[in-house]
Structure 1
């Protein structure tokens, strides 16, 4: 018989629902050992949250990067002036305006990046 071990760090406990499928989905070697349908490891909640934010930033970069750069150069890099003319006042004052990601993802990101902690 053959013994193969895999160490999976920081992996959700959900892999226990389909051990064989997850193992086979790891790499071609693992697929040779067990002839069952493979499954990829599910994305972590943190990765899903980060992907969601990165998608929004990528959209903004693709749609408005050149125009934002022109405004940046016109105002000689004064970030406060730039943001004050670009972002509407009602959006700045709307404290409920957030990324379209589930609250659990937002909480994970805040914990990871420590964005809600005040250092003083």
Structure 2
């Protein structure tokens, strides 16, 4: 399954483009711009599985660094600072990874 099967290619391009500059990534704004906040829990879970490259059932720090590339191959890598900020925002239990239920809650509530 491709990201464009779930989200609009135009919204993906606009959202990724909005954060093309280094140190500009804001997950709350990105989730809204890319259209994830208005998707069903089932669709958000499908996006999670696309981003979970190693199929571990979690999105780990090394996968978060490439989160924009998960939406489009033209996305940039997040900086180490952006990656750590993103992980801290999504990792509510402090185990260094984001599980599927935490991801759904995080994306839909924007925390």
- The question of a shared fold, defined as TM-score above 0.5 by the shorter chain, is answered with no
Q: Return the structure number with greater relative CO, CA threshold 8 A, min gap 6.
A: 2
TM-score range, shorter chain: under 0.3
The alignment's TM-score, normalised by the length of structure 1, stands at: 0.25
